[in-house]
Structure 1
Amino acid sequence: MSLIMTGCASMGDAAPQAKRLDPALLDAGTAIAAAERDAGWPAADWWHAYGDPQLDTWIAAALAGNPSLAAAQARVREAQALVREAHAGELPQLNGSLSLMRQHWPDNVYYGPGPLADSNTWNNTGGLNLSYHVDLWGEDKNNTQRALDAAHARAADARAAQLAIEAHVALAYIDFAKNYALLDIAHAAYERQHELATLARQRLQAGIGTQLEVSQAEAPLPDYARQIDSYEEAIQLGRHQLAALAGKGPGAGDALTRPTLALNARAGLPSALPAELIGRRPDVVAARWTVDAQARGIDIAKAAFYPNVNLIASLGGLAVGGAFTTFLRAMNGGWSAGPALTLPIFEGGRLRAQLGAAAAGYDMAVEQYNQTLVGALKDIADSIVRLRSLDTQRKDAARAVALTRRTYDLSHTGFSRGLTDYVNVLLAQSQLLSAQENQTRIDAQRLAAHASLMVALGGGIEPQGDAARDGDGDGDGSAPAANAVADPAAAASAAMPQAPAATPTTAAPASAMPAATSSAVSARSAMLAARIPTATPASAAAMRAPLTPPAATAAP
C-alpha cells in the first residue's frame, strides 16, 4: 500500500486561504445593541401585524402565482434530482447486454469446404455486467454530500425569493394605502379651498371683500384638482403593480379595495437582536450551505490523487454459429470477476489544477459568506436607525399638523369675520396641506421601514414554547431568558427547514453484493432521501418553517 501511495501524483501546495468570519466577533454597533425590546419575537407572518385581511390574501396569491418564486422552486427540484444522481454513484451498477446477429457464411476458398460454408447461422451474445466502485477515499460520499449541500442552498434561495415577494407586496401595498390617504388630504384641501372661495364671494357681495380676494381664493382650485387626479392615477398604477407581483394581469388589480391598514399602526422593534435571527436569514443560510458544498469539492479533488478501485463481475453466453438459442446453453456460458485498479502517476498537473480550482472556489464561497454576513448586520442596523429616526420624525410631524391646523382655524375665523386678509388664510392652508402630506408620508415610510427590518431579520420566526410566547410579558422591556443568545456564532450558522422524506433511491438487489454491504447501502439511501429538501411545500407556512443549522465543518 505504501508503494502504491508513493506512486500517486503529488497534490502540491494548493490549499484554501479564506477564513470564515465569526459573527460573535463582529461589532454590531450601538444601533443594534441599544435596540429597545418591546415587541417580542417577529412572527413568520409578520405582515399580519398590519391588520389588513386584503394584504394577507394578496401576499398568499403572490406566493402562489409569482413566476420568480416558481422558478426558484424549479431550481430546488433540479437540485433534488442532482442529489439522487450523485447518490447513484455510491451504489453497485448492474447492466445487461444482448446482441442478436444473423450471418451468412460464404462458400469460397476461405470458408469452404466446411460445415459453415454457404449456410446461415446465429451469432448471439448476452450477459450481465456488475461493477461497484469501492469508495476508499470518500469521493462518492463527498460527491453526494456536495449535491445535498447545494440542494439545501437552492432551498434557501427559494426561501429568499419568497421573502422578497412578501416584502415587495407589503411595500407596494403600503404605498397603495399611502396614496389613498394622500387622496383624502387632497380632497379635504379642495373642499377647504372651495369653502374659502365661497366665503370670499360672500364677503364681496357684502361689500367687505375685494375681487382680488375672490381671485386669490379660486386660483388654487385647479391645482388641487390636479393633485386629486395625480393620486387617483397613482392608486391605479398601484393596482397594476400589485397584480403583476401576484403573477396576474393588470385587470386583477381592479378587485383591490381601499386598504384597511392604519399607516400610524404601532411598529416596534423586535427583541433578541441580532444573533438569534441573523443566522435565519435565507441569504446567510444559502451562503453557509454553499461554503459546505465547496468544502466537499476540495475533498473530492483530493480523492482523485489516490488509487481508484472497482469490483467488476460479468456473466453471460457466447455462440458463434448455431441456432438462435445456442448461446443460452450452459456449455457456452462464462463468467469473470475481480478488482480493477487505476493509479494516477503522471497527469501533467491536471489533478493539482483541479485541486487548486476547488480551493479557489471554496475561498470565493467563504468570502461571499463573509460579505453576506456583514451585509446582513448592516441591513439590520440601517433598518433600526431608520425606524427609530422615523419614530421621532412622526412625533414632530404630528406636532406640526396640530400647530398648522390651529393656525388655519384662527386665520379662517379671522377672515370670515373680516379681521384679517386672505393672504394669512392662504399661507395657513398651504402650511396645513404640507404638514398633513408630510405626516402621511412619514407614517408610510415608518411602516415600510418596519417591513424592511422584518426582511433584514430573515422574515421572522415562530415563537418556540411558552417563554417565547410571553416574550414581552409584563411590558417592562426585558427580554425573556429563553431568548438569550449563548452562542451567536452557532446561531449564525443556521440553515434550512427539515423536509418530509422523499422517495428513497432504490438500492441494488441484495444478491448483487454482500449482505452487509447491501444493508448499509440501503440504510444510507433511505437516510439520504429523508434529508433532501423539498421544493414544493404544502403551504406557504411550510416554507416559513424555522431554519436549522448545517453541521459545522472545519475548513479544509
Structure 2
Amino acid sequence: MKRMSYHRVCALSVIALSLTIAGCADQGGIKPQAQVRDVTALAAGQAIRTAGAEAGWPQRAWWSAYNDPQLDALVQTAVAGNPSMAIAAARVRQAQSMAVVAHAGELPGVQLDAAVGRKDWSDNVYYGASFRDKLTWNNTATLGLSYNVDLWDRNKNATERAQDEMHAVAADARAAQLDLESNVVRAYVQLALQYGLLDNTEAMLKEEQKILDLAHRRFTGGLGTQLDITQAEAPLPETRRQIEALNESIALVRNQLAALLGQGPGAGEKIARPVLALHAAIGLPSALPAELVGRRPDISAARWRVEAAGKGIAVAKAAFYPNVNLLAGIGPAAAGGGMLSFLSLPNWQTTYGPAISLPIFEGGRLRGQLGATTAGYDIEVEHYNALLTQALKGIADQVVTLQSVQRQQQQARESVAAAQKNVDIATRAYQRGLTDYLNVLHAQTQWLRQQQIVQQLQAQRLSAWASLSAALGGGLEAADANDVIKAAAQ
C-alpha cells in the first residue's frame, strides 16, 4: 500500500513539474502580431468599380480570345515542354513526400535490430581469463515497437503543416504555369508589333524612294536642283537601318518564344507572322474582390503558407511539454555458445514501458524557436496581405490602361487621317513645284510617327488585356497536388 502511494506521488510530481515548465511557452509575450487582412475590407477603387460591363472570370484558355490558332498551339507547347513546369511538378512531388514523412510520426514504428559477432578473446589473464584461447559468439536480436503518445498534438500539427505546405507548392506550380502562359502571349504580341512596325517602315522606304525618283525627274527636266536630290537621298539610309533593326527584333522575339517553348532557336524560325484579332470588351467579375483569393494561384499559395506557419507555432509550443513514448521489445541475446544457440528459449527477453523526456533547462532554446516560428508566421501573414493589395493594384492598373488606350486609339486614328491628308497635299504641291522637299519629308515623318503610335497602342491594348487576365487568375482554379503532377506528365 505504501509502495502504491509512493509511485502515485512520484507520478503526480512529474506531471506537476511538466506542467510548470510547459507554462513557459505562454510567457514573455511570444505571440503573433500580424493579422490576416480581409480582402472584402479593401477599397476596390474607382477604376475597378467602373470597369465596364460585368464579365465572368477568365476562361481556362483565355488566350483563345486573340483568335490566333498559332498562339493556342504555342501556349500548349510551352506548358508541356518548358523545364519550369517539370521543376514545379518535381517540387510538388517533393512536398508530397515530406508530408508522408511528417505523417509517419503519428504512426507506430516497428524495427528489427540484430547483431552477430564472433569474438577472439585476449590471452591477457586480466581480460577474459575464463575464455582464454577461445572463440565465442556474441549475438543479439530485438524486435522493437515504439509509439509516440501525441498528448499535445505536436505530430498532428506537424503533419498538417506539411500538408499545407504541399498545397502551397501545388499553388506555386499553378502560378508558374500562369506566368509562363502570359509570358508567351506578351512575347507573341511583341512579335506582332515588330511585324507591324516593319510594314510601316518598308512603306515609308517606298515613299522615300518615290520622292527620290521624282527629284531626279525634276532635275532632268530642269525644274529641280541637285540639293533636292541630296535632300531626298538623306533619309534612305536611316530608314534602311530601321528596317534592319526591326528584322533583328523579330529574330530575337522568335528566339525568346522558342526558349519559352523549352526548345532551341530553330523552333522560333518556324513561327509565322501573328494574326491577332482581339474583340474582348473590358469587364470585371461582379464577385471581385471577394473571390480573388481563390482565383489567384499566388495568393492561394500565400494563404496556405499562413496556415502552415500557424501549425508551426503549435509544434513549437508542444516542444515545451513532456514527450511520451511507449516502447516494447522482444528478442534473444546471448554471449558464448554457437552462432544460432542464442535463439533458444532461455535466451529470450522482453522489455516494455513508457519513456518520458522533459526539457528542464535548455538555455532558452525552446523560447528562441517559438519566437522565430512566431516571427515567421508574421512574415507569411504580411506577405499574404501585401499580395492582396498588389493584386488589386495590378487589376486596377490594367483597367486604367485599357480604358486610356481605348480613348487614345480613337484620337490616334484621327491623327493618322490628318497626317495622311497632309502628306497627300504636300506631295501634290511638291510635284507641281509649289513647295520644296522638306515639307514633304516633314509630312511623311509625322504620318510615320502617327502610324507607329497606332500600332504601339494596339500592342499595348493586347498586352494589357493579357496582364488583366493573368491578374484575375487566368482561369486556373485551385488544384490538387496530384493534378499538377499529372498535368506535367502529359
Q: TM-score, length-normalised on structure 1?
A: 0.80
Deviations 1:106-131 (A, max 9, x none): 677568996x5543332211110110
Separation (CA, whole Å) in 2 of partners of 1:20 and 1:108: 74
State the secondary structure of the residue aligned to 2:487. coil
Q: CA deviation at 1:299?
A: 0.5
Structure 1 CA distance for aligned equivalents of residues 127 and 480 of structure 2: 70
1-structure distance, mates of 2:128, 2:55: 100
Distance in 1, matches of 2:468 and 2:296, equals: 12
Deviation at residue 406 of structure 1 after TM alignment = 1.9
Residues 32, 274 of structure 1: 8 Å contact kept = no
Contact 1:282–1:458 (CA under 8 A) maintained in structure 2: yes
* Matched position secondary structure for 1:438: helix
Is residue 269 from structure 1 mapped to residue 314 from structure 2 by the alignment?
no
Match of 2:479 among 473, 490, 497: 497
Residue from 417, 432, 443 that aligns with 2:458: 443
Call closer, same or farther: CA 1:400–1:139 in 2, change over 3 Å: same
Query: C-alpha separation between the residues in 2 aligned to 1:317 and 1:245?
Result: 63
Counterpart of 1:328 (choices 323, 326, 343) is: 343
Partner of 2:228: 213
Residues 197 and 452 in structure 2, CA contact (< 8 A), matched pair in contact too: yes
Superposition deviation, residue 149 in structure 1: 0.9
Equivalent position of 1:139 in the other structure: 154
Task: Give the corresponding residue for 2:8.
Answer: none
How much has 1:318 moved relative to structure 2?
A: 1.1
CA deviation vs aligned residue, 1:427-456 (integer Å, no higher than 9, x gap) = 221111111011111111111111111121
Counterpart Cα distance in 2 of 1:155 and 1:144? 17
Shift of 1:177: 0.9
Tell me the secondary structure at the aligned position of residue 209 of structure 2.
helix
Secondary structure of the corresponding residue to residue 323 of structure 1: coil
Is it true that 1:6 corresponds to 2:19 in the alignment? Answer: yes
| Counterpart selection for 2:65 from 36, 49, 62 | 49
Letter in 2 for 1:47: W
Aligned to 2:100: 84
- Once the two structures are superposed, the pairs formed by residues 191-210 of structure 1 within 5 Å of their partners are 191-210=206-225
Take 1:432 and 1:38, find their aligned partners in 2: how far apart are those partners? 38
Which amino acid in structure 2 is aligned with residue 126 of structure 1?
A
Classify 1:290/1:36 alpha carbon distance in 2 versus 1 (closer, same or farther; 3 Å): same
**What amino acid is aligned across from residue 80 of structure 1 in structure 2?**
Q
Measure, in 2, the Cα distance between the counterparts of 1:232 and 1:175: 13
Do the aligned residues in 2 keep the contact of 1:309 with 1:341 (CA within 8 Å)? yes
Is 1:19 the counterpart of 2:68? The answer is: no
1:104, distance to aligned residue in structure 2 (A): 3.5
Partner of 2:172: 157
Aligned-partner Cα distance in 2 for 1:416–1:342? 102
Q: Which amino acid aligns with 1:8?
A: I
> Which of 355, 359, 362 pairs up with 2:377?
362
Residue 124 of structure 1 corresponds to: 139
Q: 1:305 aligns to what SS in structure 2?
A: coil
Out of 75, 85, 92, which is 1:69 matched to?
85
Q: Could you tell me how far apart the structure 2 residues matched to 1:290 and 1:231 are?
A: 45
Q: Secondary structure at the match of 1:41?
A: coil
CA distance in 2, matches of 1:192, 1:267: 37
From the superposition, tell whether residues 425 and 137 of structure 1 become closer, same or farther in structure 2 (CA, over 3 Å): same
Q: Could you say which residue in structure 2 is the equivalent of 1:222?
A: 237
Residue 476 of structure 1 is matched in structure 2 by none
2:441, 2:132 → 1: CA distance?
Answer: 119
Which residue of the other structure, out of 423, 426, 447, is the alignment partner of 1:408? 423
**In 2: Cα distance, 1:239 partner to 1:168 partner:** 13
Does 2:403 align with 1:380?
no
Match of 1:253 among 260, 268, 276: 268
Gap change, CA 1:118 and 1:459, over 3 Å in 2:
same
Structure 1's 411 and 113: CA in aligned 2 closer, same or farther, altered over 3 A? closer
- What is the distance in 1 between the residues matched to 2:77 and 2:226? 57
The alpha carbon displacement at 1:180 in A equals 0.5
Match of 1:550 in 2: none
Q: Is the 8 A contact 2:160 2:311 kept in 1?
A: yes
Question: Aligned residue for 2:299?
Answer: 284
Larger mean CA deviation between 152-161 and 283-292 belongs to 152-161
Equivalent residues in 2 for 1:302-313 (5 A)? 302-313=317-328
TM-score (normalizing by structure 2): 0.90
1:474-517 alpha-carbon deviations (Å, 9 max, x no partner): xxxxxxxxxxxxxxxxxxxxxx41244xxxxxxxxxxxxxxxxx
Tell me the equivalent position of 2:485: 536
- Range that drifts further, 409-418 or 101-110: 101-110
Aligned in 2, Cα 1:457/1:6: closer, same or farther, shift over 3 Å? same
**Change in CA separation of 1:211 and 1:111 when aligned onto 2, cut-off 3 Å:** closer
In the alignment, which residue of structure 1 is the partner of 2:185? 170
Structure 2 unmatched runs, 5+: 1-11
Relative distance call for 1:24 and 1:39 in structure 2 (3 A) is closer
- Bigger shift: residues 247-256 or 450-459: 247-256
The residue correspondences of 1:475-514 to structure 2 (distance < 5 A) are 496-500=478-482
For the 8 Å contact 2:139–2:333, the answer to whether it is kept is yes
For residues 122-153 of structure 1, give each alpha carbon's deviation from its aligned partner in whole angstroms, at most 9, with x where no partner exists. Answer: 22111101100011111001101111111111
1:30 paired residue among 40, 46, 56: 46
Report how many aligned residue pairs link the two structures: 473
Spell out, residue by residue over 1:55-74, the C-alpha distance to the aligned partner (whole angstroms, 9 max, x if none).
22222232233333333333
Equivalent residue for 1:350, pick from 365, 369, 378: 365
Q: How far, CA to CA, are the matches of 1:293 and 1:227 in structure 2?
A: 55
Distance 1:249 1:112 in 2: 74
Task: Please tell me whether the aligned partners of residues 77 and 535 of structure 1 are also in contact (alpha carbons under 8 angstroms).
Answer: no
SS in 1 for 2:291: helix
Cα distance in 2 between the residues matched to 1:7 and 1:420:
101
AA at the equivalent of 1:259: P
**1:48 CA drift (Å):** 1.4
In the alignment, the residues of structure 2 paired with residue 87 and residue 278 of structure 1 have an alpha-carbon distance, to the nearest angstrom, of: 28
Whether the 8 Å contact between 2:332 and 2:347 is mirrored in structure 1 is: yes
> Structure 1 CA distance, aligned partners of 2:292 and 2:58?
9
Q: Distance in 2 between matches of 1:112 and 1:172?
A: 82
**CA offset digits 1:384-434 (Å, max 9, x no partner):** 111111111111111111111122223323433445543432222111111
Q: Work out the CA distance in 2 between the residues paired with 1:438 and 1:67.
A: 37
- TM-superposed CA distance for 1:289, in Å, is 0.9
User: How many percent identity over aligned positions?
Assistant: 51
The one-letter code matched in structure 1 to 2:249 is A
Structure 2 counterpart of 1:398, from 413, 425, 447: 413
